[in-house]
């Protein structure tokens, strides 16, 4: 029987391991589920992603500043934000069908049944019961039993107990592991921004509208991680909270959706595999008045890269109430306090890096002649330019080393002198290096090297003295190759 061809994700996972982009974590101890370490090339890719994001969100603008807040904040932060109470799901399993359900969703489905039958008194009664039982596992279980709710799959009422899955990781601060010292690893970077609102306003004298950006690790005890680095329990976020007047929020909401969508296109992501998807009303988080996702078509389907949400004034108000510190902005001209609305573009760094890997992956030809190439935008490629001696003699390796040293302050460089020139080109193609330079016998005479471009494999002679400028121009001018231009 013919073996099924390995799918795209398998090929990418394998390439990531082999070439040093991503490794399974704790591998020598048998692995740790769904955790990954970024290798020498992967860390460069991720750094480039973060640099490109910061460049576009902070450096390219006058209305956004950055911060780097603590991962472990006061537990009060997460109580006020609703994460301690609300960031957990009551789950229940049916022992016969082995299906798992959200316990509250089962009750809601029952309420919906009553509504359709017009039994509005039952609707009201059960809704109230659900509201009081929602935080109490035993009461929720009792409600399901009392209502005679059966598993939609097996039709039995053979239920397990209700268990809470809180998505926040707990830890202990200080020497004693008692409940008083419980702390949480942040499940999002956003709250660190909200609680510093006054500090940033005072320190930077920013006026509405303005934004605060942050890149950092967040932690969620996901029930189902998976799809390689797409969903992991420890992940890096790139978030920006943009504060504006409530009446301007809809406009900024659209603005940031467009900006963020365009960012991926500018870095070369295939337009046909990128879309904005507006959330339906019942999908919205408790704090949001609107949310649109930037989605990418992965081999496993359309998946969210980034959410752009209108968080309203929910967070600042909650923290104002809970802390007793008013988090508002004072408008001198109108002589009034404004409670700003927040537009939040929140992206996942690891999954964005993975998007670039998946989107850049290409194969040309087949069998022995096959060329695997990562068509990264030169701005995010881990190595920008590799330098080779055509052969290992006549001073070519020394000249190549000299050129590599000359370029090192300007670009991420690499040098290779082993094996044939063709093989070295292929190796660089596979890690997405956009430019290769080859020193040959003529170089000592004419002061030129061959510049070979990754996507077209086209070559040109370039004077060594002009290399920095030529490469810098080529990086800026790079465009994603159209299918017709790709040599196959």
Residues 87-146 that bind RNA (CB under 7 A): 89, 91, 93, 98-102, 105
Nearer to RNA, 113 or 426 (CB): 426
Which residues between 146 and 205 bind RNA (CB under 7 A)? 167, 188
Nearer to RNA, 35 or 142 (CB): 35
- Tell me how far, at minimum, the Cβ of 219 lies from RNA, in Å: 9
Does residue 422 touch RNA according to CB under 7 A? yes
Does residue 214 touch RNA according to CB under 7 A? no
> Which one of 157, 402, 430, 455 is in contact with RNA (CB under 7 A)?
430
> Which one of 62, 202, 224, 482 is in contact with RNA (CB under 7 A)?
224
Distance (Å, whole) CA 385 – CA 464: 14
Does residue 392 touch RNA according to CB under 7 A? yes
Which residues between 299 and 318 bind RNA (CB under 7 A)? 300, 303-307
| Residue whose structure tokens are 């070559």 | 459
Q: Which range binds RNA by CB under 7 A, 50-58, 67-75, 205-213, 434-442?
A: 434-442
Does residue 45 touch RNA according to CB under 7 A? no
* Cis, bond preceding 203 (omega within 30 deg of 0): no
Which residues between 317 and 346 bind RNA (CB under 7 A)? 346
- Tell me how far, at minimum, the Cβ of 234 lies from RNA, in Å: 9
Residue 348, classed as helix, strand or coil, is strand
> Which one of 335, 393, 476, 484 is in contact with RNA (CB under 7 A)?
393
Does residue 264 touch RNA according to CB under 7 A? no
Nearer to RNA, 9 or 338 (CB): 9
Angle at 183 between CA 180 and CA 189, to 5 degrees: 155
Nearer to RNA, 18 or 205 (CB): 18
Task: Say if residue 198 is exposed, middle or buried (CB neighbours under 10 Å; 0-12, 13-18, 19+).
Answer: middle
Nearer to RNA, 167 or 338 (CB): 167
Does residue 74 touch RNA according to CB under 7 A? no
- Tell me how far, at minimum, the Cβ of 448 lies from RNA, in Å: 9
Distance (Å, whole) CA 220 – CA 233: 5
> Which one of 131, 204, 420, 460 is in contact with RNA (CB under 7 A)?
420
Mention every residue, 6+ apart, whose C-beta is less than 8 A from residue 356. Answer: 45, 49, 267, 268, 269, 376, 377, 380
Phi and psi torsions of 159, nearest 5°: -95, 150
Does residue 460 touch RNA according to CB under 7 A? no
Distance (Å, whole) CA 124 – CA 194: 37
Does residue 21 touch RNA according to CB under 7 A? no
- Tell me how far, at minimum, the Cβ of 37 lies from RNA, in Å: 13
- Tell me how far, at minimum, the Cβ of 247 lies from RNA, in Å: 25
- Tell me how far, at minimum, the Cβ of 400 lies from RNA, in Å: 11
Distance (Å, whole) CA 283 – CA 281: 5
Distance (Å, whole) CA 208 – CA 463: 51
Residue 209, classed as helix, strand or coil, is coil
Of all helices (H) and strands (E), which one includes residue 64? strand 64-66
- Maximum pairwise Cα distance, the chain: 94
Chain Cα centroid distance, residue 347:
5
Burial 156-184 (b: 16+ CB within 10 A, else e): eeebeebeeebbbbeeeeeeeeeeeeebb
> Which one of 216, 348, 382, 434 is in contact with RNA (CB under 7 A)?
348
Nearer to RNA, 244 or 373 (CB): 373
């Amino acid at each position: 029987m013919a073996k099924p061809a390995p799918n795209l994700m398998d090929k990418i996972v394998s390439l990531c391991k082999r070439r040093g982009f991503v490794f399974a974590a704790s591998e020598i101890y048998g692995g740790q589920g769904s955790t990954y370490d970024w290798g020498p090339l992967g860390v460069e890719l991720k750094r480039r992603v973060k640099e490109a994001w910061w460049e576009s969100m902070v450096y390219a603008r006058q209305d956004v500043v950055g911060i780097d807040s603590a991962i472990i904040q006061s537990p009060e932060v997460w109580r006020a934000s609703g994460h301690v109470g609300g960031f957990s799901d009551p789950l229940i399993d049916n022992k016969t069908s082995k299906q798992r359900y959200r316990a509250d969703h089962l009750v809601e489905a029952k309420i919906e049944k009553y509504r359709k039958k017009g039994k509005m008194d039952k609707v009201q009664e059960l809704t109230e019961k659900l509201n009081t039982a929602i935080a109490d596992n035993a009461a929720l279980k009792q409600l399901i039993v009392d209502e005679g709710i059966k598993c939609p799959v097996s039709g039995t009422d053979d239920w397990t107990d209700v268990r809470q899955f809180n998505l926040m990781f707990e830890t202990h601060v200080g020497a004693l592991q008692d409940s008083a010292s419980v702390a949480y690893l942040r499940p999002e970077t956003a709250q660190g921004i909200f609680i510093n609102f006054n500090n940033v306003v005072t320190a930077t004298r920013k006026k509405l509208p303005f934004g605060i950006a942050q890149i950092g690790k967040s932690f969620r005890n996901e029930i189902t991680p998976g799809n390689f680095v797409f969903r992991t329990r420890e992940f890096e976020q790139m978030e920006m909270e943009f504060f504006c007047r409530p009446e301007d929020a809809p406009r900024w909401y659209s603005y940031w959706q467009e900006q963020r969508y365009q960012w991926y296109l500018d870095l070369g992501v295939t337009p046909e595999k990128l879309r904005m998807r507006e959330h339906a009303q019942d999908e919205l988080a408790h704090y949001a008045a609107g949310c649109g996702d930037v989605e990418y078509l992965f081999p496993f389907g359309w998946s969210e890269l980034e959410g752009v949400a209108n968080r309203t004034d929910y967070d600042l108000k909650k923290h104002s109430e809970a802390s007793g510190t008013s988090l508002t902005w004072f408008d001198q001209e109108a002589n009034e306090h404004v409670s700003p609305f927040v537009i939040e573009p929140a992206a996942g760094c690891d999954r964005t890096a993975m998007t670039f890997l998946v989107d850049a992956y290409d194969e040309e030809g087949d069998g022995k002649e096959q060329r695997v190439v990562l068509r990264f935008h030169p701005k995010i490629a881990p190595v920008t330019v590799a330098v080779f001696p055509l052969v290992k003699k006549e001073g070519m390796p020394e000249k190549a080393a000299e050129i590599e040293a000359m370029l090192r302050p300007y670009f991420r460089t690499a040098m290779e002198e082993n094996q044939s020139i063709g093989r070295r080109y292929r190796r660089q193609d596979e890690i997405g290096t956009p430019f290769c330079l080859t020193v040959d016998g003529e170089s000592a005479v004419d002061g030129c090297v061959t510049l070979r471009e990754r996507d077209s494999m086209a070559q040109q002679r370039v004077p060594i003295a002009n290399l920095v400028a030529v490469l810098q121009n080529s990086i800026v001018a790079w465009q994603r190759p159209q299918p017709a231009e790709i040599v196959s």
